[in-house]
Chain A
Amino acid sequence: MLQGFLAALSPANLLVEILGVIIGIIFGAIPGLTATLAIALFVPVTFLMSADAGMIMLGGIFAGAIFGGSISAILLNVPGTPASIVTGWEGYAMARAGKAPLALSLAALSSGVGGLLSAMALLFLTPLLSELALTFGPPEYCALLLFSFAIVIVMMETPLIRNILSCCIGLLLTTIGLDPVTGAARFTFGEVSLMSGFNLVAVLIGFFCMTQAFFLAFQSLDETTSELVEFGKENPYLELVKTVVMQATTYLRSSVIGVFLGILPAVGPVTTPFIAHAIERRFHPRDRNFGKGSIAGLIASESSISANVGGSLIPLISLGIPGSGAAAVFIGSLTLHGLQPGPMLINNEPVLIYTFFWGFVAVNLFMMLFGLFGARYFAVVLRVPKSVLATFVAVFSILGSYAINNSIFDVGVMFGATGLALWLRALRVPILPIVLAVILGPLLEQQALVLVTTSSSFASVLARPIADGFFAITIVIFAVAIVSRLRKTRVRHQRARASTRKAE
């Protein structure tokens, strides 16, 4: 741990920490550019760095982008990333009331506190979870993976059957290439380039970057310029210190919620602030500004989002299961360096992992400092036209996917993934289950095959309490989701029938 701490403070790593945070804040501040897109674009760049520097840089981009989204949310009421919608409710109202410096500083401080607490959770919970995961055999892994898929399938708002279809399409895509156990070629149609399957990074760039380039291009064609809120000259720091004392429990509560939700697969930074904000509302029944300029609401939103970032990295490092879409893209960087996320990672590469953990602590400190003292300067990037953004996201998507193996085939894979993402979007089939399936598919197949060949009977699988627990939770989750959705549909049909009767 000490070695990791010292390595995280080396000049080279300090440089990538600062660089990552700055890049992240810039990407996050620009509406239309998300944290996932920023990470996906920079994954190929990390190939040129050492594994620890690459991971720290992506951690900086992730944390910075999540905070950066609040700048445009507060100054323009246009969330820079989808995670900043709730921040926009509270922050923009404060900014319009002439408190833009306080709102931005509060966002920076809350993000910093949430991020630091999540970094601590990452530092201390990941080794524990990894140790527990070392006792896992194929039954536990299969149960855990099915549980992860179940959470993602249930959490999406689209109909369950479409989410399951999305997951199955993703799993089927991972079967293209060589079979992970016997090495037999499957569905390659004689194409040598398909032997190793689709490149994960190229697929992720297609899903998250090129699709966004197309949407940005269209948005640029009817772009309307939004006016920035007058920044004001007040000094917010005294009031900021006051909030630390008065709202300490809000910071803590929202951060804990953020970390917890981050650990769960699929509950990414987009959903988290809504839940944290709703919970915090119960603790402030007399706050009439709640939802439209409340300090507690802003703290709840920002602390929980940033805490979610670290939380989503805990299952990623310890189990190999990403806690959010952006964390999923992180895996691309690990695979580029030949590292397999999972419980063995921390045992095989302890210095690398602890360097990353301490680097993540430093990243959150830098993010807080840049946010507190430089947020107003980052607001300049809000003036970059979307036509320029769309063009450069497109060119970097293509160059990034080409640079992975210097292969035009990967560019084709990237375009294929873009086409698939747009097509499924038109079909209202969500993309996140596919992303998770593409990442976890090979592991599921491997573990399922080992389970089938090594288990003598079904009873031997049932004798594993952790696996049983995960299987039971998975079944309960599905049952609850099906019942609640059926109930909602029935209510909707009853209302529709009642309104038709009224109209008649």
Chain B
Amino acid sequence: MRPAMLYFNLISLLLIVCGAAVLGAQTPDIAASARVYPIVLIVLVVVCSLAVAAKEFVGRATTAPLDSELGKILRAPAAFRYRFLGFAAIWLIYPWAFSRIGFIVATTGAISVSLWLLQVKRPLVGVLAAFLFAVVFSLLFATVLYIPMPAGPLDELLTRLLYAIQH
């Protein structure tokens, strides 16, 4: 096993143990009858993590060093990796963005950038399709599904338009 992978595995398992320990430290605040079950599980998580770590450390782990899909991502050319990280970043930012600039603008922006990052053949068509998708879903949420989405300037304009049509 490559040392980098070994360190990753050991640090990860240590983090799991730490996470379990943090939960364990909380148990005295829990009512006596409600804490036995989690304590048993915390002990099991710690024991299993240490057992896996010990097995890794003495080099008895026999499975493949890294999941093949993840391995491909890590071994990909830098340009691919940046685009992939950009894709992940866009979708992580998207929920934060739509609660601030509104559903239509955030969705159009996120889909367009995502398609551009993933090298879709016609990015302009992508922008148009993204806008259409955002408007259609905004209408669907407002009139059929009754899901209140955060509103930005465009969403408010659409709501006023809908109100004008209905009355």
Contact = CB atoms under 8 A, between A and B. Distances in A.
Interface residues of B, number: 61
B51 interface: yes
A46 B156 CA distance: 28
A186 B35 contact: yes
Contact of A387 (B12, B99, B115, B147): B115
B31 to A, nearest CB: 4
Contacts of B20: 172
A179 interface: yes
A179 B34 contact: yes
Contacts of A422: 70
Given A168-B48, A213-B91, A426 B70 contact: yes
A390 to B, nearest CB: 6
A256 to B, nearest CB: 34
B30 A184 contact: yes
A417 B83 CA distance: 23
A164 B12 contact: no
A425 B67 contact: yes
B55 to A, nearest CB: 7
A423 B66 CA distance: 11
Contacts of A427: 9, 12-13
Interface string A193-216: 000000000000000001001110
Interface string B58-96: 000111101101101100100010011001100110111
Given A179-B31, A181-B33, A186-B34, A172 B62 contact: no
B84 to A, nearest CB: 5
B120 A161 contact: no
Interface in B12-30: 12-13, 16, 20, 23, 26, 30
B163 interface: no
A158 interface: yes
Interface in B110-167: 110-111, 114-115, 118-121, 133, 137, 144-145, 147-148
Contacts of A48: 144-145
Nearest to A492: B62
Contacts of A179: 30-31, 33-34
A388 B115 contact: yes
B107 A218 contact: no
Nearest to A452: B36
A385 B123 CA distance: 13
Size class of the A contact interface (CB-based, 8 Å): 35 or more
Contacts, number: 150
Contacts of A394: 87, 91, 114
A387 B67 contact: no
B25 to A, nearest CB: 10
A427 B84 CA distance: 21
A40 interface: no
Interface stretch (A14-22, A226-234, A351-359, A400-408): A400-408
A472 interface: no
A214 B73 CA distance: 10
Given A172-B20, A489-B62, A161 B67 contact: no
A486 B49 CA distance: 20
B48 A161 contact: yes
Contact of A415 (B30, B49, B92): B92
Contact of B84 (A189, A218, A415, A449): A218
A368 B73 CA distance: 39
A165 interface: yes
Given A161-B52, A221-B83, A390-B118, A395 B107 contact: yes
Contacts of B145: 48, 403
Nearest to A424: B12
B101 interface: no
Given A161-B51, A164-B48, A391 B118 contact: yes
A314 to B, nearest CB: 29
A220 B119 CA distance: 8
Contacts of B64: 428
Contacts of B95: 398, 402, 408, 411-412
A172 B17 CA distance: 12
Contacts of B8: 426
A322 B66 CA distance: 29
A336 interface: no
Given A398-B91, A399-B137, A426-B70, A406 B118 contact: no
Nearest to A164: B48
A214 B12 contact: no
A85 B164 CA distance: 55
B38 A172 contact: yes
Contacts of A425: 67, 69-70
Nearest to B87: A217
Nearest to B112: A391
Contact of A165 (B23, B45, B61, B94): B45
Contacts of A213: 91
A222 interface: yes
Interface of B: 8-9, 12-13, 16, 20, 23, 26, 30-31, 33-35, 37-38, 41-42, 44-45, 48-49, 51-52, 55, 61-64, 66-67, 69-70, 72-73, 76, 80, 83-84, 87-88, 91-92, 94-96, 99, 107, 110-111, 114-115, 118-121, 133, 137, 144-145, 147-148
17 contacts: A161-B52, A162-B52, A168-B45, A172-B41, A187-B26, A213-B91, A214-B88, A217-B88, A387-B118, A391-B111, A391-B118, A394-B87, A395-B91, A398-B91, A426-B67, A448-B37, A492-B62
Interface of A: 48, 158-159, 161-162, 164-165, 168-169, 171-172, 175, 179, 181-182, 184-187, 189, 210, 213-215, 217-218, 220-222, 385-388, 390-392, 394-395, 398-399, 402-403, 406, 408, 411-412, 415, 422-423, 425-428, 445, 448-449, 489, 492
6 closest cross-chain pairs (CB), A and B: A387-B118, A179-B34, A165-B48, A184-B31, A175-B38, A184-B34
Given A169-B45, A399-B137, 9 more contacts: A165-B48, A168-B45, A171-B41, A217-B88, A221-B76, A394-B114, A398-B94, A426-B8, A426-B67
